[in-house]
Every structure is written in structure tokens, then in C-alpha cells.
Chain A
Amino acid sequence: MGSDNAFAAVALPHLDAALNLARWLTGSRADAEDIVQEAMVRALTYFPSFRGGSSRAWILQIVRNTAYGALRARRGERIADYGPDEAAAIEEIPDPADDPEKSLILSDDLARIDALIEGLPVELRETLVLRELEDLPYRDIAQITSVPIGTVMSRLWRARRMLVRAAAMGDRR
């Protein structure tokens, strides 16, 4: 019981972060809640091997792996496994004459912003959510998503750029 309580003190403060990540990965609150429960049970099992460091990154790494497992199982969908040349895929931002940034900043439609994020590929979406909603440093994001920091950096740039561009495209319609 004592160690369970020690685990609770480490893990439970991250319950919001866990649910937020799982929800953004799956798009479903019900799925996210199942994933968080499953992840917390796994984390308790692994807890004896937790060596300190960022407990948030540790928990979120387990949540993320659990979520990917659930996504594969439920959708029969293969989660893209990006190769080493991904880091090179830094795209240009669109023609500045479009002024896409402005449309994104001025959009007051919160549902639209959520939809734009939902529309990002999952590996970009998770990187962006971890950076901007959880305020995590690159190092923690690299740990959670199991990629080198260089990949975190290029994914973040691609995510931001795609978001800006998607907002501009939406406005043109």
C-alpha cells in the first residue's frame, strides 16, 4: 500500500496531462479515458524501475505508447513509423503575400482551431500538443515520442507551418 501511495503521488498529478495527450491522440474522450486507466496500471508495474527525472515525461511516454497500441488495435491502422530522413523534411512556409498568420491569429472560432490541430498527422499533432499545451522542453518531448531532439525540432516546425497553411486554405474557401 505504501508504494502504491508513493506511485499515486508521482503519477496522479499528471492525470490531466495524460488525458489531454490521449484525447488529442485518439480524438475520443471515452478512448482516452480507457487509455489513461490502462497506462496508469502499466506505470504502476514499471514504477520500481522509475529512476527519477521528469515524472511527467515518464508517465506521458507510457500514455503515448498505450495510446498508439490502442490506435493500432481499434482502427487496424498502422501508425506511420518515420524514417531517419524525416528530419530533412522542412518545408517552406507559404507565400507571405497570403498573410496566413493573420488569419490564424484572428480566428475566434475555437472549434476551428481544434479541428485544424485534429487535421495534423498524428506525429506532428502530438509534438505540437506536448510543446504548446503542456509547455514541455524538447528533451522531454523527445523522450515521450521516442525520437531524437532534431526530429522533435523538425516535427514542430512542420506542425506549426501546416497549421498556419491550413488556416489560410480554410479562409480561401
Chain B
Amino acid sequence: MTGSSAAPEGSGTGTGPVTAGDCGKLLLLQADLDGELDTAAAAALAEHRANCPVCRRNVSAVMAARQALRRATYHRADPGLLRAVAGRLGIAQPHPVRRTSFPWRGLTTFGAGAALAAAIILTVLPAGRPDIVAALVDDHVRALQPGHLLDVVSTNQHTVKPWFDGRLDFAPPVKDLAAGGFPLVGGRLDYLDGRSVAVLVYSHGKHVIDLFVWPASGHPRVPSRAGRDGYNVAHWQANAMSFSAVSDVDPAALRQFVSDWRQTP
């Protein structure tokens, strides 16, 4: 073990002792890889990173650990535990959520009972918003039919992004993830929940990943991870936009795609 000098707790500067394994920027580098640095700090580090062999090695260590962790078991609660917890809390036994014509308004409009049910179903049935997950998967599958996948064919984000201008009432962010193994192949317009949405199409090996993008405000809550008929859906929100990635790649690859997307400026 090296680096025995007392670095202050919580300093988080990454300016640790300089050793063979630490160029002094180790924790800063790690924070960068974890998406914890703001743009200015990341840019300041980039210059150093580009020329530092120690950083290069440490990047591969962090990435190796990350890739391994993607294949680690995620232990999920089963319905029995949910029932047991509900029982201990004195909450009415969870019951299956009835389908309503406005399923995603439940949390705000239908009161506490529906809120509980929605909370429960989001928890134990990752595909618990069957309508929206089904709609995403259906759109994805339909697009895989010959001739339906792409309205604009380009691996260049600077071509794809302007193509959406004037076709949508919002400007979807478009990113190039080729470096991470997810090259952009183009985009299309699609229809989801009664509105037009942008779909960015990426490839991964022989698989296609559709990334649906639409403004987040007032729009359906989608479970962060769901699956249906062998397709996986990953959902997140950022900068007032909703993102749903849909693909038949394995869940680990989809998570990597999401992580790469979120960490690419």
C-alpha cells in the first residue's frame, strides 16, 4: 500500500500523492469517468489525460471494473416481500392495478390508493406500465420492418440533429456514441402517447437500439427498466427531456448504452 500521507477527508481534489499508480489526478480521473465533473473541470482534466500513461492505465482499470459490475447480479424484491412489507406497514394488501384510460396520470390525479398501486407496480413489475412499454416496443418492432427504420440515414450527429428541426416542436439532443460501440445510424419520427417523438437509431453489433426522445413535462412515467417479449426498455429523464432506449440487446449492453449516453457531453 502506498500513499500513506494523510490526505484530508472529503477534499476530493484528486491531488493525492504522486506514485507509480497515481499521477496525482487519480480521483479526479475517476470522478470524470463517473460523470461527477462539470464541463469545465472535465475539460481541464482532458489535457492532462491525453498525455498521461498513468491515467490511461487507470481508465482501463475503472472501465474493467465497471464492465464486470454490469454482469453482477441485481437482487430484486419479489411479490412476497412486497406483500410482507405492506403487511408490516399496515397498508392494504397490494392488488393488481386496474387498467385505466389515462394510466400515467395516476400518481397525481387518482389519489392515494392509485398512488400506492402505482408505486407498487413500478416496484414489483418493472413492465408495470404495460401500455407505454408496449407502445415503445411496438414502435421499435414496427420500425424494424424493411424500409421503416430510418427517415434520415446518417452516422453524423450534425446531420441528424438539424433534420429534426422544423419537424418537431422540440430539439432532441443527438450524440455520437461510436467510441463506445454504439454508432449512430440515423433517426426517424415516430408517434407515442399521442404526440410526435424523435427516435435516434443506434446499432450495436447486429442489434438496433432505438432511443425515443420527447419533452418530459406532463408525459408518461415509464419504469426505469422494463422488458417485454425479449425486448428491454430503459428510461430516464435529463434536461427536461424523457429518454427511452428500446432494444433486444441484453440488459447489460443496454445499461452500457444508457450510461455512455448520459456521460457523453
Contacts and interface: CB of A to CB of B under 8 A. Distances in A.
Interface string B9-35: 111101011011110001100110010
Interface string A102-134: 101101001001101100000000001001110
**What range describes how many residues of B lie at the interface?**
35 or more
A interface: dominant SS: helix
Contacts of B88: 37, 40-41
B2 interface: yes
Contacts of B115: 5-6, 8-9
A133 B9 contact: no
B191 to A, nearest CB: 28
B179 interface: no
A91 B81 CA distance: 40
A15 B123 contact: yes
A87 B9 contact: yes
Interface residues of A, number: 71
Interface of B: 1-12, 14, 16-17, 19-22, 26-27, 30-31, 34, 36, 57-58, 60-77, 81-82, 84-86, 88-91, 107, 112-113, 115-116, 118-120, 122-124, 259
B76 A8 contact: no
Interface in A22-40: 23-24, 29, 32-33, 36-37, 40
Interface of A: 1-2, 4-16, 18-20, 23-24, 29, 32-33, 36-37, 40-41, 44, 84-93, 96, 100-102, 104-105, 107, 110, 113-114, 116-117, 128, 131-133, 135, 137-138, 148-151, 153-154, 156-157, 159-161, 163-164, 167
A150 B64 contact: no
Given A84-B9, A87-B7, A9 B119 contact: yes
